[in-house]
Amino acid sequence: MPNSTNLANNPTSTAADFPRRFIAEGDNLDDWSRIEPYFDRLRDRDIENADQLVRWLEDFSELLACVNEVGTDRHVRMTCQTDDPDRKQAFLDFIENIEPKCKPRTFELEVKYAKCPVANQLDGKRYRVLDRSIRASVEIFRDENVPLETEEAKLAQQFQEICGKQTVQFDGTEQTLQQLAAYQERTDRELRKQSWEAGSERRLQDAEALEDIFDQMVAIRRSIAKNADCSDYREFAFKHKQRFDYTPQDCLTFHQAIEEAVVPLLREQEARRKESLAVDPLRPWDLAVDVLSRQPLAPFATADELCRKVSRVFHRVDPEFGRQFDEMSAAGYLDLDSRKGKAPGGYQATYDESRHPFIFMNAVGLQSDVRTMVHEGGHSFHCVAARHDPILSYRSSPIEFAEVASFGMELLSLDELSEFYDEEGIARATRAQLEGIVSLFPWVATIDAFQHFLYTHPNHTRQQRAEHWLDLRRRFGGIVDYSGYEDALRFAWQRQLHLFEVPFYYIEYGIAQLGALQVWRNAAKDRTAAVRAYRNALALGGSRTLPALFEAAGAKFDFSYNTLAPLIDFVRAELAKLPE
Ligand SMILES: [Zn+2]
């Protein structure tokens, strides 16, 4: 099993496959004094024709990739071993002493590009997406927003600090709210209720403090938008997130489609759960337990076993993916097992210079680990498929499509779960996956619609905020009864960290799921053709618009009822085929 020792032996400077052309061989960009001269050279270079501009853009990409490589490597090393102070210090050094110095210098080069008179001579087909991205970034930048963004980041840090301290005394020990959540899968209903109440009461203790932080954030975001000459923060966020291919109105259309096409299925699903559990009414602590009181699925015992089995899953989806995964494994680009000192969670990282993926996770033997593994696998295959491009931003796609790669791989892998389970296990895992998708859409609509309200009504009171939230819960929620827990419901939005930390980031999950479901439905008709289209779309990286990336994957980039409803019918039919 690859571990952090192999990782330390990884060459992280230059991959032989992608030789440097601008940064000197052997020059390790791990210190600002070695980075700055390259920014100076790019700033001072004369550009007289389109060929020279292309070379300049590629050199600019090479510089950023080499700097990112250092940051990624330090981040990965730190998360693999958080109790090593040297690794932590190295990462902090990057965040504090390298990254902030790169930002204004990167902006300076973007301005140089935007002003360059030969930019309009570039091949439009190849460079249009890059061109619009750089110009949008230049358009929105304001010096006076830099301190406001620092202020906003500090408030986000306060939010994290408050949440990080939330623990409760339960079942004889002090537990984090994440640990407490595990009780929601226990078959003892009274125990579930008590743990749910304990978590809910603990959160409510901080509700007012979080309201204070959020009010300040809304005010700061309003100033940021005003400085950038936007009518409100929603307009700013759409520009800042470079949402060129859809509008706020498209999102509102999507919410409506979700209300009409998905919410009825969510309510059916919960009614069915209520019946199977023989409870009335369905309560918030009845949502995670297995309806037949079975033990959790146990797909593997060790990280080695997970790695072996998931390799076979990938080989069966596509032999090329299987081969790539085996290479990652042999190269030590996986750190899968849970162990002391490792950071929580899972992620896929890309080393931008050597252009290889890395997967980090904490596998303990659950179906959710299998799901994380294939999800991050999808991101890794995306990285490998697009790594040939000399333009850095073309080697990855916007989130709306990046998550099509990962959600799509989750769905394509469902048909290969016999590596892990018998018939009954496959049915359980598949049902959990599909019911999760049915729940996801209404939640995405709730969070997104809430943000549209917050930032187009920046003078709203706390009372209005709560009322609008409750309206949305009535519109998109299921049949769960919160009687006696009205305050928990009223402040439930505070549990969604995106609202605090990454405003307007959420609709992307809904958009990507729309693409992934289409890939999966295509595979049900013609698996070979669907996987081929998926691979071809991944290879385009970020070099095309979102509608073009979706089209290449065999999917429509459309948020209307006409696209969503047939997909949900397809999910409903697949669910109907499964035994309980
Ligand atoms: Zn992902």
Q: Is the pLDDT of residue 9 over 60?
A: no
Our measurement of the distance from residue 351's CA atom to the centroid of its chain's CA atoms, rounded to an integer in Å, reads 17
Ligand 1 midpoint to CA 407 (Å): 7
Q: Which residue has the tokens 């935007």?
A: 114
CA-based nearest residue to 417, from 542, 287, 578? 578
Our measurement of the distance from residue 154's CA atom to the centroid of its chain's CA atoms, rounded to an integer in Å, reads 22
Ligand 1 midpoint to CA 509 (Å): 9
Phi/psi class of residue 554: alpha, beta or left (left: φ > 0; alpha: ψ in -120 to 50)?
left
Ligand 1 midpoint to CA 230 (Å): 30
- According to DSSP H, which parts of 493-526 are helical? 497-501, 507-525
Ligand 1 midpoint to CA 357 (Å): 13
Ligand 1 midpoint to CA 382 (Å): 11
Ligand 1 midpoint to CA 431 (Å): 20
Region 176-199: what's the mean pLDDT? 92
Ligand 1 midpoint to CA 35 (Å): 31
Given pLDDT bands bounded at 50, 70 and 90, which one contains residue 12?
very low
CB 316 within 8 A of CB 326: no
What per-residue confidence (pLDDT) applies to 10?
36
Given pLDDT bands bounded at 50, 70 and 90, which one contains residue 343?
confident
Our measurement of the distance from residue 343's CA atom to the centroid of its chain's CA atoms, rounded to an integer in Å, reads 17
pTM: 0.93
Name which of 111-115, 198-202, 293-297, 349-353 the model is least confident about.
293-297
Reduced DSSP (H G I as helix, E B as strand, rest coil) percent helix, strand, coil of the chain, to 5: 70, 5, 25
Region 51-68: what's the mean pLDDT? 98
Pairing of strands 173-176, 347-351: unpaired
Q: Is the pLDDT of residue 330 over 60?
A: yes
Ligand 1 midpoint to CA 348 (Å): 8
Q: Is the pLDDT of residue 146 over 90?
A: no
Give CA separation, 234 vs 216, 237, 417, 441, 467, in Å.
17, 5, 42, 21, 20
Ligand 1 midpoint to CA 112 (Å): 33
Ligand 1 midpoint to CA 375 (Å): 6
Going 482 to 488 to 494 to 497, the CA torsion angle's sign is negative
Q: How far is it, in rounded angstroms, from Cα 528 to Cα 347?
A: 28
Q: Is the pLDDT of residue 14 over 70?
A: no
What per-residue confidence (pLDDT) applies to 194?
97
What per-residue confidence (pLDDT) applies to 176?
85
Ligand 1 midpoint to CA 475 (Å): 28
Q: Is the pLDDT of residue 282 over 90?
A: yes
Ligand 1 midpoint to CA 55 (Å): 32
Q: Is the pLDDT of residue 220 over 80?
A: yes
Give the H or E element holding residue 167.
strand 167-170
3-state secondary structure of 385: helix
Pairing of strands 356-363, 334-337: parallel
Q: How far is it, in rounded angstroms, from Cα 342 to Cα 132?
A: 40
What per-residue confidence (pLDDT) applies to 569?
98
Ligand 1 midpoint to CA 383 (Å): 12
CB 334 within 8 A of CB 2: yes
Percent of the chain whose pLDDT exceeds 90: 88
The string of pLDDT tens digits covering residues 513-526 is 999 999 999 999 99
CB 163 within 8 A of CB 497: yes
User: Backbone phi, then psi, for 66, in 5-degree steps?
Assistant: -65, -35
The string of pLDDT tens digits covering residues 237-264 is 999 999 999 999 999 999 999 999 999 9
Q: Hey, which bits of 250-352 come out as E strands?
A: 334-337, 347-351
Given pLDDT bands bounded at 50, 70 and 90, which one contains residue 16?
low
Ligand 1 midpoint to CA 505 (Å): 13
What per-residue confidence (pLDDT) applies to 4?
35
Three-state SS letters, 98-161: HHHHHHHHHHHHHHHHHHCCCHHHCCHHHHHHHHHHHHHHHHHCCCCHHHHHHHHHHHHHHHHH
Ligand 1 midpoint to CA 486 (Å): 33
The per-residue DSSP string of 410-461 comes to: HHHHHTTGGGT--HHHHHHHHHHHHHHHHHHHHHHHHHHHHHHHHHHSTT--
Ligand 1 midpoint to CA 376 (Å): 6
Pairing of strands 173-176, 356-363: unpaired
What per-residue confidence (pLDDT) applies to 580?
72
First to last CA, the chain: 36
Ligand 1 midpoint to CA 176 (Å): 25
Ligand 1 midpoint to CA 398 (Å): 11
Going 27 to 30 to 31 to 32, the CA torsion angle's sign is positive
Cis? peptide before 458, omega within 30° of 0: no
Which tokens hold the place of 550? 């979706």
Pairing of strands 347-351, 167-170: unpaired
Task: Give the mean pLDDT of the chain.
Answer: 94
Q: Is the pLDDT of residue 235 over 80?
A: yes
Ligand 1 midpoint to CA 538 (Å): 14
What per-residue confidence (pLDDT) applies to 100?
87
What per-residue confidence (pLDDT) applies to 2?
34
Ligand 1 midpoint to CA 324 (Å): 18
Ligand 1 midpoint to CA 162 (Å): 26
